[in-house]
Amino acid sequence: MSKQTLDRILQSQGFGTRKGCRQLIANGDMTISGETVTDYRASHETNGLEFTIFGEPWIYREHVYIALNKPAGFECSRKTSHHPGVLTLLPEQFTWRDVQPVGRLDHDTTGLLLMSDDGPFIHAQSSPKRHVPKFYIATTHDPVTPELIAHLLSGVKLHDEPAPLAAMSCRALDAHRLEIVLEQGKYHQVKRMLAAAGNHCSALQRSAIGLLTLESLELKEGEWRYLDEAQRALLAPAAL
């Protein structure tokens, strides 16, 4: 990080265009250390910079890494079709700074969703070469049986897939719920695997990615939080 002018700082944090940020500063809407700043050309060290904008505290972040407990009925897309997008659950500043979902959950799937504006992070987390396990809790229409678990572990053939796909692990939680762990991340994979195994997925939640669990984040549906460095490390294969 380095010194930047105030208009560039506000723009990088998602408060609008550079011209618009200059106007915010000229209007006296930004304070640093309790002092109103009005010269957009003034330079400040960004590392550890804290300021207020419209009276709300803000901490400068070069990139943001976010965990969201996604509710049902939201699409993981910037260009939505039938449902509101997950970005509507975040402050609008994140849209301005091009925060994007890391991978996708179906509109009716709930649970842990990562979001960021860091391109290399998004690419790394989305790459199938990383083999990071993703944990899902599936509610099934028909009872969970030992035969179903065995079928999912041995592999099921899906349409358009050259080889059978198998769960890394799978266990029954109760009569109609199972935990299934995958690393491939194929389109509708859990639902398609259950259908191919002779059952039907009536509800689906992603409960963990790597060693980062939704439970540890203590997020209610629709809530989000920044991920710190230690939490992001739990997503790395080296932590597994």
Which tokens belong to 239?
Answer: 């932590």
> Of the listed 106, 118, 142, 160, which one is catalytic?
106
Q: How far apart are CA 207 and CA 187, in angstroms?
A: 18
- String of b and e for 131-170 (b: at least 16 CB within 10 Å)? ebbbbbbbbbeeebbeebbebbeeebebeeeeeebbbeeb
Residues 6+ apart with CB under 8 A from 55: none
Q: Is 98 a catalytic residue?
A: no
DSSP of 186-225: -TTHHHHHHHHTT--EEEEEEEEETTEEHHHHT--TT-EE
Residues 6+ apart with CB under 8 A from 68: 86, 89, 90, 112, 113, 114, 115, 219, 223, 224
What DSSP element (H or E) covers 147?
helix 146-154
How many H helices and E strands in the chain?
Answer: 8, 15
Q: How far apart are CA 136 and CA 203, in angstroms?
A: 10
Q: How far is CA 212 from the centre of its chain?
A: 12
Catalytically active residues, by annotation: 106
